[in-house]
A = this chain, B = another copy of it.
Amino acid sequence: MAGPNPLDAVPFMAADLDRVEDLLTLSAASADPYLTEICSHLVTAGGKRVRPGFCLASAAVRLAEGGSSLESTIAGAAAVELVHLGSLYHDDVMDEAVVRRQVESVNARWGNIRAILAGDFLLARASELAASLGVEVAALLAATIGRLCEGQVLELKHSFDVERTEQQYLAAIDGKTASLLGASCRIGAIVAGLDAEQTDALTAFGKEYGMAFQIVDDVLDIVSTEADLGKPVGHDLEEGVYTLPVIIALNSGHGEDLRALLGAPIDTATRDKALDIVIDSAGVTRSIERARSRAEVAVAALNTLPDSPGVRGLRAAADYLLAQVELAAA
């Protein structure tokens, strides 16, 4: 989803994200210039840094208006982004992707072997940073990487499966998306020394935001246009990833027609026919309702926290996501 980064409204955010950027560059560097070049490729390609932003904002629940983040918060923010980046290296190998973030993908440029190793290296660097923040953060980050893998495997397991259930879908996106966003907030809270209740509230915010974000992303893959999306619509359908709107459509009155088209790789014409059926079904509307209610739960979790630049930043992020939900609904 393109657009401005709502976290930029937080006064210290831009400056602190610059510090995160420096640490990302440092972390991607190795003893070998060749490996450094490969590992730096996606770091310098940029990105919204949502996960570091959530980590910084969560820690900033303790920060005064004019504050700036502690070194440990910067390290936590870099660690969660390194997990995200490392997993993108592996994702691109798995998807045989050619382009990522408007630049040539690592696997396309250097081949699968180097992309796998560079991904491993970035994940290892994330773990090193996490270890510097104590055993709780180290254990949480490691468990989160495990959850990412579980989520992806759950998705793969049901590829081209027209019997995929909502529950199976939710379990997969919980692992592949929500867990790391939850962990980003939680690590920020832990390093800032927030109490258990506040830490749990921020974790819940990150997880629910992540669920809503992924549902919206999946809806946009169906209802958006190639121009808005920056990539062809219906990509998930082609890959056999039947997301929430498709699952709901398969179990609606249009189910039989859709079922006849899916279950195996499809050509572009069939994809467009399937997209039309999903769009005409209740799948999109109901998915948007789910995303909206998840985003509202995320916002509600923030209400237990003291007003602060961090909380206001997270609320702005959730508001932005809710606006995306309404846009997708329009």
Contact = CB atoms under 8 A, between A and B. Distances in A.
Interface string A131-173: 1101100110111011011101110110000000000000000
Contacts of A131: 130-131, 135, 138-139, 142
Given A127-B127, A131-B142, A150 B94 contact: no
A138 B152 CA distance: 25
A80 interface: no
A30 interface: yes
Interface stretch (A9-17, A109-117, A257-265, A279-287): A109-117
A93 interface: yes
Q: Is the interface of A mostly helix, strand, loop or mixed?
A: helix
A194 to B, nearest CB: 20
Quickly give the copy total for this chain.
2
A157 B34 contact: yes
Contacts of A195: none
Contacts of A31: 150
A121 to B, nearest CB: 4
A153 B123 contact: no
A34 to B, nearest CB: 5
A87 B131 CA distance: 20
Contacts of A145: 120-121, 123-124, 127
Given A128-B139, A135-B132, A142-B131, A94 B123 contact: no
A135 to B, nearest CB: 5
Given A34-B157, A156-B114, A149 B134 contact: no
A116 B132 contact: no
Given A113-B156, A132-B135, 8 more contacts: A30-B149, A32-B154, A90-B117, A117-B149, A117-B156, A120-B120, A125-B142, A138-B138
